[in-house]
Structures are given as structure tokens and as C-alpha cells.
Amino acid sequence: MIRLIGIGVRATSPLLAELAAHLPLPASVDEESLDPQFAWSEKRSQYYSTLLLQSLALRASDGDRILGVTHVDLFVPVLTFVFGEAQLSGPAAVVSTYRLREETYGLPPDPIRLKERLLKEAMHELGHTFGLRHCHDWQCVMASSHGIEMVDVKGSEFCAGCKAKISTARH
């Protein structure tokens, strides 16, 4: 089961439907959301995604994948920002719309592009929970994305190699 949890916002059903269509597990939205304030870094003026992951992992049941969805700006200490983060072969992942929005780059809102980007990054982070690492196939959703342009270029599906690894991973 994939469980969506809002972090500072409510998780949305459209993402739920998209994930259910792309992954081999049923999906649901948790009614309860998570307040992200405990992960706020005054020094960075961002939220530390690893702390959010730890909190999400505590909510996981055996075999569940928890995906936290938020609108806040995320970071890990060695990077300026991250679109999301996940526990490799673990139960928790988090993704943020903050840097997926066109407005972040001084452009007008584009809801369709935001929806596509969110799906790609959610799939990518959930792929890590299945044990997948970054893929060298630039069209695979598991390709690494260090900038928004890379998110736009990659596809929203797993390549054949990554798909095979997911099918053998423990669900």
C-alpha cells in the first residue's frame, strides 16, 4: 500500500490516481497531515527533508510506502535544495512542489506542468523505497534531477531495467 500524507497541506487525490496507475500497489490518502515546523532550519530558511522522512517512517506499517507531499522548500546539508528525498529500500519518501512550480522561476503558473513534475518526482522517490538507485537512462523516471530542466526532460515511467527490479522488490 502507498499512503499519501500531506505535510503542511492536504495530500491530493489526483496524485493518488496517477501513482496507482503507475505502481504495482494500491494507494490511499491519509486524512491526518504532518506539521513540518519541527524540520525548519532558521539558518537555511528551508525544511530539512531527512527529519521529515524520519517522522514519516514512524507512521509506516509493514510493507507500506509512505509518501509525504508538501509545498515547502526542502534541503539536505550537502545540497542547496532537493525536490524530494527517500529512504533507500525503506518505507518513507517526501516530495515538495516548491521548486516544481513555474512561479519559483519567475514564470506564470502552469498547473499541467506542475502535475507532470510532481508525478515524476513522486515516482522517483518511491522508486528509491523499492531499492532503486539513480538510473543512467535519461528517459527513466529514476534519472537524477539536479535542476528543473532535468525533471522536464526525463520520462514519467521506469525503464525496462528499473521496472524489472521493482517487480522483484518486496511489496
Q: What are the pLDDT digits (tens) for 91-114?
A: 999 999 999 999 999 999 999 999
Task: With a cut of 90, say whether residue 25 has pLDDT above it.
Answer: no
For the annotated catalytic residues, the residue numbers are: 125
Residue where the block lists cell 532558521: 42
For residues 144 and 12, the model is more confident at: 144
pLDDT of residue 39: 98
Domain count, the chain: 1
List residues bridging with 94 in a β-sheet.
Answer: 68, 85
Give the domain CATH number at 117.
3.40.390.10
pLDDT of residue 44: 97
Taking a C-beta distance cutoff of 8 angstroms, is the pair 80, 17 a contact?
no
* pLDDT band (50, 70, 90) for residue 167: confident
Share of the chain above pLDDT 70, in %: 96
Mean pLDDT of the chain: 92
pLDDT of residue 171: 53
Count CA atoms closer than 13 A to 74's CA, side-chain side: 26
Length of the chain: 171
Q: State the average pLDDT over residues 152-158.
A: 96
Its domain, for residue 84, covers: 2-168
For residues 57 and 31, the model is more confident at: 57
